[in-house]
Structure 1
Amino acid sequence: MSADIIALNALPTLAHASLPPEGLAPLLRQFDIPGPRYTSYPTIDQCTESVSGEALVDALQARCVGGLKRPLSLYVHLPFCESVCYYCACNKVVTKKHDRVQQYINRLEKEALLIAKAATGNLSPVTQLHFGGGTPTFLTDQELLGVVNGLKVLFPFSAQVEMSIEVDPRTVNDTRLLALRSMGFNRLSFGVQDFNPEVQKAVHREQSFESVRDLMKAARRLGFESINVDLIYGLPKQTTAGFAHTLDQLIELAPDRVALYGYAHLPERFKPQRRIHSADLPDAAGRVALLAQAIEQMRRAGYDYIGMDHFAKPTDPLAVAKRQGRLHRNFQGYTTQPDADLIGLGVSAISRVGNVMVQNTRELDDYEDRIAQGQLAVFRGHLSSREDLIRHSAIMGLLCQGELHFDDFSQTHWIDFKTHFQAELDSLQPFEAAGLLVRTEDSIEVTEAGWFFIRPIAMCLDQYSRHSTLSRSKLL
């Protein structure tokens, strides 16, 4: 699923979160504010075409100056899909012709070589590798293995590297899962969205519960360390009764992690969504009911809320890291890995190295042409200012630790926190009044119930968010 997907945040934290007697619905209605997922700050929409691939090259060449070697995270975008899912907001190429794949792989390898050469002497071990799409499993096992081996030739890999891949259950079987495990992948993410046949038909993604169940059993036998399942609420034809059954089936599967996204209907931006009939979508009250129901069922099943859109079993490393204050967040979402520089490969992929964030062109032909000419395919970027870095630290502190201590933050960033963020602290007052955070003379701390609303709380610190003024006026 795309890192740019816009979802609504209102999710729970630990299994015994304190809630007002009247329940979630009133708070969900009050604080139901669209916003970014904050897999980066600033978010990708702050990039402009004034920043080119030269900025990325400069950042790669300077990344180990002074002896500091941040770990590396690699993301590979594989855009191909055999059929279109109507809700999808990802950068994708829908085709049944597999002959286009090899040319794309050749360009990926050449791009990786350009990056590796630019960073000569400044490469540190890769601690994360993620294949996303599109549908990565559109590629054959041999093609996927070729990409993995090619990357290992060019980049040093940590012995404990996390290797994850997004899987469309319709494209794999037990044999394919064995092949993925043999390549070194140790984490899987299954795209499910909903098990209800009527909903699946409405979004053009039909797959049986039994097929996903059998694949998850096989994945466990093969020793995958973590299995994630994606769900979406707010899809056409969804009802509280139908979604409750989907959640019961999900809980029966017992995935290690669950991502629960809110569908954003933006047909003017994403052409496939024009095939969804607006009349089939749940209204605002229906979305709130679906979300509140999901929260309650996941909580009763014993899952911890990690933050933003994610749940995990209490024994999962993400849940453990959150309890211990070791949680991090990057373009792959929440992670236990320390902050790393990210190199994105492929059409539309995003890289972030030091204070430089860039994105590759989103057009496949343009991407392939640029790489064929020996150029990086960057079409826009952003250079983070000191203010960006300050706010990045504050927002990630809230999203990952749920608290900010003013004196510690002031000493780290050479500012007076309360003066610097006075307007932002004022804008948090409605959350404080609702019992979603506690403010003292020296800190702000998100309450257990406040974790349901961590996205709109974090948005108050975002100087770029075009929703900030709207959200504050709505809340006040």
Structure 2
Amino acid sequence: MPTVTLRPLEADLLAANMRRHDVAGPRYTSYPTADRFVEAHQALQHLQALAQRGAGQPLSVYVHIPFCEQLCYYCACNKIITRHHERAAPYLATLAVEMDLVAQALGGHAPVSQLHLGGGSPTFLCEAELDALMAALRRHFRLLPGAELSIEVDPRTVDGGRLAHLKALGFNRLSFGVQDFDPAVQKSVHRVQPFESVAALMRSARELGFASVSVDLIYGLPLQTPASFARTIAQVAELRPDRIAMYAYAHLPQRFKPQRRIVAELLPPAGDKLAMLSGAISALLGEGYTYIGMDHFALPDDALAVAKRQGRLHRNFQGYSTQPDCDLIGLGVSAISRVGATHAQNAKTLAEYEDALNQRQLPVQRGLALTRDDLLRRAVIMALMCQGRVEFESIAASYLVDVPGYFAPEFERLAQLAVQGLVTMEPGAIQVTPLGWYFVRAVAMVFDRYLQADASRERFSKII
């Protein structure tokens, strides 16, 4: 299948389209999106989906560790701020109960090709706790040789010795939360971590032989300017991470209480935010990075960039992935699973999560059984997000529909994007253009039935 080949674009053309498409919309780590889950879908439905699936095909597993020592003001994650590390032990014991229930429902030690620890801060756990967690995972699941084992790392909580311990546990991919290197910006969001300390960790990770090291950045934070963010991008490029994830800050203090500590007057204006993004894209392309899609960059020889070129890119609740499209088991408070044609999300509070598992019940609080229309639209949206192309013949064969007829209203909206140069309409396919790849969320939104029926998009961040 052909894939989009990106090239540096004229700054004025990119900026003009950024202004046009600076609207709110989903990130499409799933379709339907999690805000469409219903409380009628509970533990019983999830157990049935697990039992029907069985333990045959490889799984992706996500484990949520909610604890952080310090509050970052921009954060919209499900987390628990505490310096009491003793709170981790009972949580890990409860996690082991959930693993046991899931393994029983699957009917055996299911093979796992991808494991990701997120949070919160997984490195809140001490070495003995990480040992216990990995031992529990290996008891209940079969981590395959060559499996992708990744962990999110707060640079303030580790040193070279701790990285060596993570490597010994089998982790082969690290993700450092950096956000910005400007000292004033770091102070304004309560996350101070000097460039020199992150650089030292990057050197240690390289020496230890981690297969991939990625860095997370955020643009649109208080006190950021196009010039200051350009300096951060230059420093990141100097570190040469294998992957870079660069997210737009969404200021939603009415939904996320920590953001109420951010002084809104210090946030950069929309024009500066767009300049940060366009400048960063140009700089990273100039440094030889490949634009993977929707906020993600990778070095050309990284597995993610190779998968992009070969049309093997996939997407799940953790973002872009090289793993074949497979079911995802989410473990821990607020974690989301995707099993077959169902989604299930665990309780969002620690008390509710632990209460369910103390009764040896799965802590599922809401979810969704996908309809035929959901599955069809998911296939189209994921093809757009991952390959930048939808082949009508393959969709028609899988779902027995006449694609142009079924999506007639959507094709009318696509015609407007075609005029803007974001897509081309071929006789048997939709092709995202090199320019359109930067706005692939806007293209995918055309096929979101829920979004088109719901005029309110306040629950979502801006797509730029």
TM-score with structure 1 setting the length:
0.93
Q: Distance in 2 between matches of 1:276 and 1:302?
A: 35
Q: What SS class does the counterpart of residue 158 from structure 1 fall into?
A: strand
Match of 2:354 in 1: 368
- What is the deviation of 1:34? 1.8
For residues 24-423 of structure 1, the aligned pairs below 5 Å read 24-64=14-54, 69-121=56-108, 123-423=109-409
Q: What SS class does the counterpart of residue 13 from structure 2 fall into?
A: coil
Q: Distance in 1 between matches of 2:456 and 2:156?
A: 41
Q: Distance in 2 between matches of 1:56 and 1:190?
A: 33
Match of 2:13 in 1: 23
Match of 1:10 in 2: none
Q: 1:111-161, CA deviations, whole angstroms, 9 ceiling, x for partnerless residues? A: 11011111114x531001100000000000110111011110111121111
Match of 1:438 in 2: 424
Q: Which runs of 5+ in 1 are unaligned?
A: 1-12, 472-476
Q: What SS class does the counterpart of residue 35 from structure 1 fall into?
A: coil
Q: Residue 353 of structure 2 aligns to which amino acid in structure 1?
A: Y
Match of 2:462 in 1: none
Relative to 1, partners in 2 of residues 1:467 and 1:308: Cα closer, same or farther, differing over 3 Å?
farther
Q: Which moved more, 1:48-57 or 1:422-431?
A: 422-431
- What is the deviation of 1:466? 5.6
- What is the deviation of 1:14? 7.8
Q: Residue 317 of structure 1 aligns to which amino acid in structure 2?
A: A
| Segments of 4+ moved more than 6 angstroms | none
- What is the deviation of 1:35? 1.4
- What is the deviation of 1:340? 1.3
Q: Residue 42 of structure 1 aligns to which amino acid in structure 2?
A: P
Aligned-residue sequence identity (percent) comes to 52
Match of 2:461 in 1: none
Relative to 1, partners in 2 of residues 1:21 and 1:102: Cα closer, same or farther, differing over 3 Å?
closer
Relative to 1, partners in 2 of residues 1:470 and 1:383: Cα closer, same or farther, differing over 3 Å?
closer
| 1:455 is aligned to 2:445 | no
Q: Residue 77 of structure 1 aligns to which amino acid in structure 2?
A: H
Q: Distance in 1 between matches of 2:116 and 2:29?
A: 14
Q: Is the 8 A contact 2:8 2:285 kept in 1?
A: no
Q: Which runs of 5+ in 2 are unaligned?
A: 458-464
Q: Distance in 1 between matches of 2:455 and 2:255?
A: 23
Q: What SS class does the counterpart of residue 95 from structure 2 fall into?
A: helix
- What is the deviation of 1:31? 1.2
Q: Distance in 1 between matches of 2:449 and 2:4?
A: 30
Q: Residue 148 of structure 1 aligns to which amino acid in structure 2?
A: M
- What is the deviation of 1:243? 0.5
- What is the deviation of 1:398? 0.6
- What is the deviation of 1:206? 0.2
Relative to 1, partners in 2 of residues 1:315 and 1:221: Cα closer, same or farther, differing over 3 Å?
same
Q: Which moved more, 1:399-408 or 1:226-235?
A: 399-408
Q: 1:236-257, CA deviations, whole angstroms, 9 ceiling, x for partnerless residues? A: 0000111110000000000000
Match of 1:3 in 2: none
TM-score with structure 2 setting the length:
0.95
- What is the deviation of 1:281? 0.5
Q: Residue 315 of structure 1 aligns to which amino acid in structure 2?
A: D
Q: Residue 52 of structure 1 aligns to which amino acid in structure 2?
A: Q
- What is the deviation of 1:231? 0.2
- What is the deviation of 1:73? 0.9
Match of 1:424 in 2: 410
Q: Is the 8 A contact 1:460 1:468 kept in 2?
A: no
Q: Distance in 2 between matches of 1:193 and 1:212?
A: 12
Q: What SS class does the counterpart of residue 23 from structure 1 fall into?
A: helix
Q: Is the 8 A contact 1:236 1:277 kept in 2?
A: yes
Q: Residue 105 of structure 2 aligns to which amino acid in structure 1?
A: A
Q: Distance in 1 between matches of 2:12 and 2:335?
A: 44
Q: Distance in 2 between matches of 1:416 and 1:334?
A: 29
Q: Is the 8 A contact 2:446 2:452 kept in 1?
A: no
State the number of aligned residues: 455
- What is the deviation of 1:467? 8.3
- What is the deviation of 1:420? 0.6
